[in-house]
Structure 1
Amino acid sequence: MNRSIQILDTTLRDGEQTQSVSFSRDEKTNIAKVLLEQVRVDRIEVASARVSEGEQAAVAAMVDWARDKGLDGRIEVLGFVDGGKSVDWICAAGGSVINLLAKGSEKHCHTQLGKSLHVHATEVLETVRLATEQGLRVNLYLEDWSNGYADNSSYVFELMGLLQEAAIEHVMLPDTLGVMTPERVFAAMRDMIERFPATKFDFHPHNDYGLATANVLAAARAGAAAVHCTVNCLGERAGNASLAEVVVNLRDQLGLELGIDESHLVRASELVQYFSGKRVAENAPVIGGDVFTQTAGIHADGDNKGRLYHTKLSPERFSRRRVYALGKLSGKASLLKNLERFDIALSEVNQRKVLARIVELGDSKKTITAEDLPFIIAEVLESKDYDHAELLACNVSSSFGLESTASIKVRIDQAVLTATGSGNGGFDAFNKALARIVKGLGLSLPTLIDYEVRIPKGGHSDALTECTISWSDQASGSRDFKTRGVHANQVFAAIGATMRMLNLVLHWARQAQQGSPSPQGAVQAAERAA
């Protein structure tokens, strides 16, 4: 088995075949930059030739950027056996690599094209000649190879034999319909490599049976030179193989050498989620929001005593951190891990009080975030440490065809302040008004980086809405955190989360002014009062 393997990411080509996904030129360029420059994948496939003028402009923009970085040779475009039209299209966009699509199964060749093997091979060779004459490097897809090999492997072998002398760098073997198992992939890939040892073979999986990542590992074990994947498993039907899953498995399970920088995998995932509108599941391996969260108290206890629930799939590899969830399954160790994060210490008596309140909230199906913990402590111990700001009155008005407006009255410490704002929706108007108040205090609001609303399934129009907002506070050293609000009105749920954010920001500002390293002093005072 090779000790190193290439990664080709086809998010911008095959991933764009996901239902309702279409990337703009700027979106494609930004994703390409992250994949090539930060994640450092070996190759990216970015488009299909002759789709549209806009697609050609997108390829040109990506190539122009990559050429300045010396990375343009890593950008590839799918082309077709069409008398040189794809070749001309790619050359006009400035591309340097064509991934030529040929028929890898006898059924496709005879039924879809209505041609014999020899006629098709002749046309493929002619397209390869046209491409190389114009300076393009050529890779070759054998479309539907998995079925072609299973149905009539002699067709595949004869086609390969006819193309052996052509200037083809990689032959790509797709499991086009995602029908293979790891055992079949390994056997077929080994057979191809042994029959054609001078050829570099790529494996291109699909995930229809949920076996894409396992099939990639089988292909790598068999000696594939490269494997294909997409960010967030995008792709037609059930998608391709996930870039993040492929990378960690090739490294951890097979010990292969990769050029990938894992610390940027989550960044790439978030960017693709934002541009595609397709969110990944919270439990998606590596990139999901919950995959480094321990919920059971016994797991937190084991980690506390000896990192018993840690593996080499650690969050730090991906610029993430381990989280210990708070809820009805929480134990003392879960609470201690979260107190440690905030640098808060509580007496045994008050730990039990706070834990009882957490379990009570969890039992009522309330979601509890780590950032809720200071407020739970304040509530249980009757501390005013996180009671710097209070919304006294608020009027939000929204009209069709007009900007929304908000008038607010806020108590900050002992001062009562008012402001108005207008914006694109009631919540935006509220934020504009609040920003005016905060600016007068010499502070600025954190940047909103994500906004989630959850309504219980089967809920009525008056059901409680839970709004969770993610913030990034540059003033406190690029601190990222979440706050939550619950209300029957979605806007006021978001306002509740924002007021909680304001209390945290004001608390951190007070700490900085006083030179206090933590909320410990205030908590100790609250404990004495309790």
Structure 2
Amino acid sequence: MAKSQRYIEIMDTTLRDGEQTSGVSFSASEKLTIAQLLLTEVKVDRIEVASARVSEGEFDAVKKITKWAKAKGLLNKVEVLTFVDGDVSIHWMQQAGAKVMNLLTKGSLNHLTHQLKKKPEQHFAEIADVIKRARKKGIECNVYLEDWSNGMRHSRDYVFQYLDFLSTQPVKRIMLPDTLGILIPSEVFEFVSETVKRYPGIHFDFHGHNDYDLGTANVLEAVKAGAHGLHLTVNGMGERAGNAALASSIAVLDDFMPQVKLSVVEKSLYSVSKLVETFSGFRIPVNKPVVGENVFTQTAGIHADGDKKNKLYFSDLMPERFGRQRKYALGKTSGKANIENNLQQLGILLSDEDLKKVTQRIIELGDRKEVLTQADLPYIISDILDGNALEAKVTIENYVLTHSKDLNPSVTLKICVNGEVFEEHAQGDGQYDAFMNALKKVYKQKKIELPQLTDYAVRIPPGGKSDALCETIITWSQNNRDFKTRGLDSDQTVAAIKATLKMLNTLQPQ
């Protein structure tokens, strides 16, 4: 670490504050797995894993984590939220095997007066008693100043009176939470700066919430102001709008604060994000910075073209830093360059004419709000190349498919066969069956017997989106010869109609 750099501790509180996300509850085994990943792979400095006295499940989870951490020499990195309750929380921690407590106290006069209904001196005396008891049991103490942000806004004299008292106590860290996520960046800088300058020998952590979507910005300002540590959560989990997000905060600090040093491994941020998403059921928005599925995906064709020519739309926020890859989405704004980038990744080379056809098909699907992936691309190409081999002597001019309650599905079909237009209506057991019945009426007039349908299969591209494309493969039999035709569309019946149209053009004399 360069002499000019100062070290910033990262404390992850996903397993404590993050678990307060509405509807989220981790099992003991899930908590252990997340704790292990955070400390050994992501390499955060500390983890806050539970609140004391909450439940048997919390107790079992903490015991599992502390047992593992002790065996790995990491027990001092595992912390538990405790309360000003004499020996009660301390006894809970001893039974759970924890050695570091984060004592929850009142950081604003408003909370002290209206929630505890106590005077500052009484609160301080009770805190001193808990700290003394914990120290006797070999438990290290950090102290939270709950509602510190409102305290600095409305009762600053009380906050400094309290900090004067804490400066006389054997505590390792003092934690400054923006409990309700009310601060703007300029206030964070002002409040943290004043606090750090006034107490230069104390380690201060900043604990930000995201109620105004300012969590990451406030983290940056806290570090600029001299904070020594930060509290973050995976995926920004937490009460209400959540806490400052781990991945976003690390990326911002790494890129815009070269004067600080962090221990966190960027390449592990995405994997822990996905694990926590799976265990919590708390879905990550696709546009969430760093870990969202779409944040390294270019959709606009002009962007793909610029990337191809000179990486014109690249920034320092490169996906490889986080163990991810840049993608080029397929949609109505994709453009030729975007599709070419995808083809290059697949090792596929197309003629200009075929590339134009593929581009047009993707634009058409995009206009219908279909979501395409790279995995869909070979199917589109195959469908287009397959169609290129046929001369379209039969064209479907129009059709209406109907499906109503208590009525048989029906089709009205308008079709052109060798320049002759026919229109027929038929019903069937399903929409495609109705389509085939109408088609048989047309070909009966032409005195042409259609092949027999012997198999009908539908599949989606592996890795593709089920609502984007499906491929219908129909096997036909005629004159002791079996052959297959394929159709591709977002609608299964339409895909089957396209496969049938290929069959009709295959039958026509050249």
Q: TM-score range by the shorter chain?
A: 0.7 to 0.9
Please name the residue that 1:350 is paired with: 354
Contact 2:176 2:207 in 1 (8 A): yes
1:485 and 2:466 are equivalent in the alignment: yes
CA 190–485 in structure 1, closer or farther in 2 if over 3 Å, else same: closer
- The amino acid of 1:484's aligned partner reads K
In the TM superposition, residue 174 of structure 1 has moved relative to its aligned partner by: 0.4
Equivalent residue number for residue 314 of structure 2: 310
By how many angstroms is 1:495 displaced? 11
Deviation at 1:486, TM superposition (A): 4.3
Structure 1 residue ranges (4+ consecutive) displaced by more than 4 angstroms after TM superposition: 493-496
Matched, 1:226 2:229: yes
> Could you report, residue by residue, the CA deviation over 1:45-76 in whole angstroms, capped at 9, with x for unpaired residues?
00000111221111010011111221111110
**In 1: Cα distance, 2:59 partner to 2:114 partner:** 30
Residues 173 and 486 from structure 1, CA distance in 2 versus in 1: closer, same or farther, beyond 3 angstroms? closer
What letter matches 2:269 in structure 1? L
Checking the alignment, whether the CA contact within 8 Å between 1:121 and 1:162 is kept in structure 2 is: yes
- Report 1:6-405 matches (<5 A): 6-255=9-258, 256-382=260-386
TM-score, with length taken from structure 2 = 0.76
3-state DSSP of counterpart to 1:336: helix
Secondary structure, counterpart of 1:485 in structure 2: coil
Q: Matched residues in 2 for 1:148 and 1:16: separation?
A: 26
Equivalent runs, 1:422-433 vs 2, <5 Å: none
Amino acid at match of 1:14: D
Q: Return the offset for 1:176.
A: 0.5
User: Partner residue of 1:521?
Assistant: none
Aligned to 2:408: none
Q: Supply the distance in 2 between the matched residues of 1:110 and 1:240 (Cα, whole angstroms).
A: 26
Kindly tell me: are residues 251 and 468 of structure 1, through their superposed partners in 2, closer, same or farther at Cα, counting changes over 3 Å?
farther
Write out per-residue CA displacement over residues 118-157 of structure 1, whole angstroms, 9 at most, x where no aligned residue.
1100110110011111011110000100001111111011
Contact 1:485–1:495 at 8 Å: present in 2 too? no
Cα distance in 1, alignment partners of residues 366 and 20 from structure 2: 41
Larger Rg: 2
Whether the aligned pair in 1 keeps the contact of 2:370 and 2:467 (CA below 8 Å) is: no
Structure 1: how far apart are the matches of 2:68 and 2:299? 44
* Amino acid in structure 2 at the alignment position of 1:60: K
Q: Verify the 8 A CA contact 1:295 1:324 in the aligned structure 2.
A: yes
1:364 offset after TM fit, Å? 2.0
Question: How many pairs are equivalent?
Answer: 399
Q: Secondary structure at the match of 1:172?
A: strand
CA, structure 1 residues 361+278, in 2 after alignment: closer, same or farther (shift >3 Å)? Answer: same
Tell me, in whole angstroms, the C-alpha distance in 2 between the residues paired with 1:57 and 1:116.
Answer: 36
Deviation at 1:334, TM superposition (A): 0.5
Please, what is the CA RMSD of the aligned residues?
2.0
AA aligned to 2:243 is: N
User: Is the contact made by 1:377 and 1:383 (CA closer than 8 Å) also made in structure 2?
Assistant: no
| Distance (whole Å) between structure 1 residues aligned to residue 240 and residue 465 of structure 2 | 35
What is the distance in 2 between the residues matched to 1:155 and 1:175? 16
Q: Would the alpha carbon gap of residues 194 and 110 (structure 1) be closer, same or farther in structure 2, given more than 3 Å must change? A: same
Quick one: distance in 1 between partners of 2:282 and 2:177? 24
Q: CA deviation at 1:485?
A: 3.0
Contact 1:10 1:230 in 2 (8 A): yes
Compute the displacement of 1:44 (Å). 0.6
Q: Deviations over 1:373-427 (max 9, x none)?
A: 111110111189xxxxxxxxxxxxxxxxxxxxxxxxxxxxxxxxxxxxxxxxxxx
Change (3 A) 1:216 1:2: farther
Question: What stretches of structure 2 of length at least 5 have no aligned partner?
Answer: 389-458, 473-510
Cα distance in 1, alignment partners of residues 5 and 308 from structure 2: 40
Give the Cα–Cα distance (whole angstroms) in 1 for the partners of residues 466 and 276 of structure 2: 27
1:35 Cα offset (Å): 0.7
8 Å CA contact 2:5–2:261 kept in 1: the answer is no
Equivalent residues in 2 for 1:444-455 (5 A)? none
Identity of aligned residues (%): 49
**3-state DSSP class of the match of 1:166?**
coil
**In 2: Cα distance, 1:351 partner to 1:247 partner:** 41
Check 1:347–1:468 CA distance in 2 against 1; reply closer, same or farther (3 A cut).
Answer: closer
How far the C-alpha of 1:484 sits from its partner, in A, is 2.9
Q: Secondary structure at the match of 2:464?
A: strand
Q: Assess, with a 3 A threshold, how the Cα gap between structure 1 residues 151 and 349 changes in structure 2: closer, same or farther.
A: same
Q: Distance in 1 between matches of 2:183 and 2:331?
A: 42
Alpha-carbon distance between aligned partners in 2 of 1:361 and 1:308, rounded to the nearest angstrom: 28
Give the whole-Å Cα distance in 2 for the aligned partners of 1:138 and 1:9. Answer: 17
Residue 494 of structure 1 deviates from its aligned partner by 9.6
